[in-house]
Structure 1
Amino acid sequence: MRNRLSRILATASVAALCLGGVPSLAQDSAATPQAAANSADPPLTAPDSPARRQQVMPDSFADLVEQVSPAVVNINTTSVIEQPTSPMFPEGSPFSDLFRDFGFPMPNQGPGGDPRFNNRRQPQRASALGSGFVISEDGYIVTNNHVIDGADEIEIEFRDGARRKAEVVGTDKQTDIALLKVNATDLPYVSFGDSDAARVGDWVLALGNPLGQGFSASTGIVSARGRALTGTYDDFIQTDASINRGNSGGPLFNMDGQVVGVNTAILSPNGGSIGIGFSMASNVVTTVVDQLREFGETRRGWLGVKIQRVTPEIAESLGLDTESGAMVTDVPDGPAADAGVQAGDVITKFDGKDIADDRDLVARVAQAPIGEKVSVTVLRNGKTEQLDVTLGRREIAEGTASDSESDAAPGAEETLGMSVQVLTPEIAAELGMGEGQQGLVIREVDPASDAAGKGLSPGDVITEAGQQPVTSVEDLSARIAEAREAGRKSLLLLIRRGGEPRFVALSIEP
């Protein structure tokens, strides 16, 4: 069986499984180091550890575990989930005809064969477990987003047995980080270390709640650094320290007792540890945590370019001595275009620092301050030019900002049970659509709306309404008004998903 990469699942249980259902599995960061430094009590670290300096195998990790373990917590979540079940008889089979001919409801239907209740049982409550760690004495806790995603209730269990309810301060799906808060004071906590200082071969310690068995420690080494899995901002530390389901959100410590990673994913053929685990680097996490604590969401810089890696062939064709930098393939409307960046430029420096490759540029731009000018050095036609770019905010460009921020984006509006926004070149590129494509991108769909019933989902693009092109929310609103004035009960929309078109008629009745 070939290996598969997966987020670490937490153990879960579902009540009332007497009907033969299977348990549902719920997928298995927030004072900053600066905030921790300002606290009255020091974090649980050992800054002078000889073992850290020499990196020799200690006789025991017990002292280190004893130091940092009071700040490691178990995270218990509960949520209400629907329990779908397959029909006993497929539609169109002789048995379904028999039931219908004699006036009986199909199995799994409600009274009178009401189709609204097809394939559903009563909602049930599911529970799941994960890990986390306290990073400030006043109760900020870091974990993975997938540990608490969709949870109705979150409870934190501390090493001393105390339990406290937690609230979500903010989450970031891009890095799979979540910041929680409990009402407490004088909690034991740990601080972040410099993940860039972690070397391949360094000892590390992983703590967490694997497989729901309670507190557990495992040790190993840094197996690799700078791993990218599936995310834009990935910077994972690979380790052979044993990480299993339920370890998600737990800390990866260096020998100084500082957190250098947040345990997030494993590579495994069976879902268990085979010695290939991944922890999001602390230098990425601290930036996310800072923003979540201050704003409740991330605020990443946006340059407004499409880029690719400089391959050896590209470097040779341009007469470059090295393959460093990021080559610009397109410059849609945005900060870079306003500053004069052109397709074919190779960005060699950003804010005065050399750019290693395209991933390096993405990471540096994301951490740069929004609304401020930064210098961008490009190589164009064999000559170096320096441009000043005023960075925008990526979340606004992508339409993923909070409601207050999104309202500032042109055309964001609720209509027909959907939240729609004008399709920008950046969003079109993310959706794999061609240049020049216009329309409205669907950001959210009300599950109870006709749009959801017709299968529309976030990421779909409305290009026509009433067989007329739409390029703004005002266009769509006008088509709806015209159809209502004409006495129609529905409006025909042309939807594109992944570039493929299909027509959908949505109800426009008030």
Structure 2
Amino acid sequence: MKSFAAVLSYLSRSIVLGLALAFVIGMIWPQTRSQLRQHLGLKTAAPATTDSAASSAESPAAPPAPASYAGAVARAEPSVVNIYANKIVNQPTVQMYTNPIQQALYGGQPGPSIPRREQSLGSGVIVSAKGYVLTNNHVIANADDIQVLLYDGRVARARLVGADAETDLAVLKIDAGSLPVADLTAPPPRPGDVVLAIGNPLGLNQTVTMGIVSAVGRQLSNDSPEDFIQTDAAINLGNSGGALINTRGQLVGINTLLIGRAANAEGIGFAIPVSAARSVLSQIIDTGHVVRGWLGADYGFVPVAADSGLPAAPRGAQVMNVYPGSPAALAGIQAHDILLRLGSDNITDPADLRRHEADLKPGTRVEVSGLRNGMPFHTQVVLAQRPNLTESDDDGHLGQA
């Protein structure tokens, strides 16, 4: 019995000594433990992870942003051109009196106007191998000579195919071979997407600036059906008509407007979405102009009283004004009517209604449904062609790039 106790004591001391030695070795050489497990054919234990590492394993992190957007620029830049629009303007002159006393009293008198050549700078995007170029209408307005400088240094004279004042787009045609064409197949941009603006700001051709899409669907006029992409990519004078591209080099918009420092703003620019540009392009090429449907009324948001129990943002559009003799007037639509449906389309807000009516061809007969004094009503309207209702910006805040 005594010998058995001695053996047990010896084994206990040996086990404790072995564990202590293994602990010391593991602390000094931590890799020895995993090597021993591999040698014995045992599975290696997975390393401990923190909470953040575990959560990242469950939901993969977004791919890192590229270190450079040079590839996207290289794909899109050759299709961006510089535009030089020349026109003759009459500059008034002043004739000074020869009598010194009259000069001191009156200064001078109006003289004959002197014709002077004026040149405006802008940008454009080649959108067809046939030589069609998209730019802004205000870049080439009233120009009698339009020159286009291509990416490879060639200069081509352009002719105006047609223009649309509502979207501020114009289509030019140049005769040149081997033209690089912009990719117009981009998906709709989303707020937060990285975008690049390429153009000719202040005569500095092929300038690239970067920003994000700040917002989409911006309405800059209560009367226009068109909406814009808002971006903080730097847009300056001369960028008008240039390209706004995504990180794959696809065209997402045509740069057109900016809010300048007169409004204490910085980094607020606007571009025409490529979807609207494609529609204008095809219509101008086919007919020379853009045709839009028109009901003949002004709209506002549906008002909701605080105690009405209705949601804060109800759908539909309230008729604010009906133009005399317009399709809406002939159909009996009245001010304060709430329009909820145009044909088969539900109306969400005034901008949505303007877009739907503009998409319909003049002469189309469509049913309009809504509420009048809280009661449902339906009427048939034959749309007319939308007149030019664009308003000039007179607040000094919006500026043409």
TM-score using structure 1 length: 0.58
Distance 2:226 2:157 in 1: 30
Task: Kindly report which structure 2 residues correspond to 1:213-252, keeping only aligned pairs within 5 A, or say none.
Answer: 213-230=204-221, 232-252=224-244
**Other-structure match for 1:95:** 102
Distance 2:307 2:289 in 1: 38
Match of 2:85 among 65, 77, 101: 77
1:357, CA displacement in angstroms? 1.7
- Retained in 2: the 8 A contact 1:82–1:120? no
Instruction: Give the secondary structure class of the aligned counterpart of 2:128.
Output: coil
- When structure 1 is superposed on structure 2, of 241-250 and 266-275 the one drifting more is 266-275
1:87, CA displacement in angstroms? 6.0
Distance 1:375 1:191 in 2: 38
1:314, CA displacement in angstroms? 9.4
Deviation string 1:363-398 (CA, Å, 9 cap, x unpaired) is 221121221222322123434344332211113xx6
Match of 2:255 among 257, 263, 267: 263
Distance 1:84 1:269 in 2: 30
- Retained in 1: the 8 A contact 2:304–2:312? no
| Alpha-carbon distance change, 226 to 340 in structure 1, aligned in 2, over 3 angstroms | same
1:307, CA displacement in angstroms? 2.5
| Alpha-carbon distance change, 301 to 76 in structure 1, aligned in 2, over 3 angstroms | same
Deviation string 1:181-219 (CA, Å, 9 cap, x unpaired) is 112344211143467x31110011111111101111111
Distance 1:301 1:198 in 2: 27
Instruction: Give the secondary structure class of the aligned counterpart of 1:376.
Output: strand
Task: Kindly report which structure 2 residues correspond to 1:50-61, keeping only aligned pairs within 5 A, or say none.
Answer: 56-61=64-69
- Retained in 2: the 8 A contact 1:242–1:273? no
Task: Kindly report which structure 2 residues correspond to 1:56-455, keeping only aligned pairs within 5 A, or say none.
Answer: 56-85=64-93, 88=96, 95=102, 107=108, 118-120=110-112, 122-193=114-185, 197-230=188-221, 232-269=224-261, 274-313=266-305, 316=308, 322-331=313-322, 332-395=324-387
Structure 2: tracts of 5 or more residues without a match = 1-61, 392-401
- Retained in 1: the 8 A contact 2:196–2:247? yes
Distance 1:337 1:182 in 2: 45
- Retained in 1: the 8 A contact 2:94–2:108? no
Distance 2:171 2:306 in 1: 42
Instruction: Give the secondary structure class of the aligned counterpart of 2:305.
Output: helix
Distance 1:303 1:124 in 2: 44
Distance 2:263 2:298 in 1: 36
Distance 1:385 1:229 in 2: 31
| Alpha-carbon distance change, 273 to 247 in structure 1, aligned in 2, over 3 angstroms | farther
Superposition CA RMSD, Å: 3.2
> Bigger radius of gyration, 1 or 2?
2
1:343, CA displacement in angstroms? 3.2
1:329, CA displacement in angstroms? 3.4
Distance 1:160 1:383 in 2: 65
Distance 2:294 2:307 in 1: 26
Structure 1: tracts of 5 or more residues without a match = 1-53, 100-105, 109-117, 401-426, 431-510
Distance 1:271 1:250 in 2: 24
TM-score using structure 2 length: 0.73
Distance 2:175 2:202 in 1: 27
| Alpha-carbon distance change, 214 to 271 in structure 1, aligned in 2, over 3 angstroms | farther
- Retained in 2: the 8 A contact 1:315–1:321? no
- Retained in 2: the 8 A contact 1:315–1:323? no
1:277, CA displacement in angstroms? 1.3
- Retained in 2: the 8 A contact 1:287–1:367? no
Identical positions, percent: 40
Distance 1:344 1:98 in 2: 59
Deviation string 1:55-107 (CA, Å, 9 cap, x unpaired) is 85222111111111111101011111222245657xxx9616989xxxxxx85
1:304, CA displacement in angstroms? 2.0
Deviation string 1:107-148 (CA, Å, 9 cap, x unpaired) is 56xxxxxxxxx3445322122211000111001100011111
1:223, CA displacement in angstroms? 1.1
**Other-structure match for 1:8:** none
Instruction: Give the secondary structure class of the aligned counterpart of 2:256.
Output: strand
Instruction: Give the secondary structure class of the aligned counterpart of 1:211.
Output: helix
Instruction: Give the secondary structure class of the aligned counterpart of 1:241.
Output: coil
Distance 2:186 2:353 in 1: 20
Distance 2:333 2:306 in 1: 19
- Retained in 1: the 8 A contact 2:194–2:211? yes
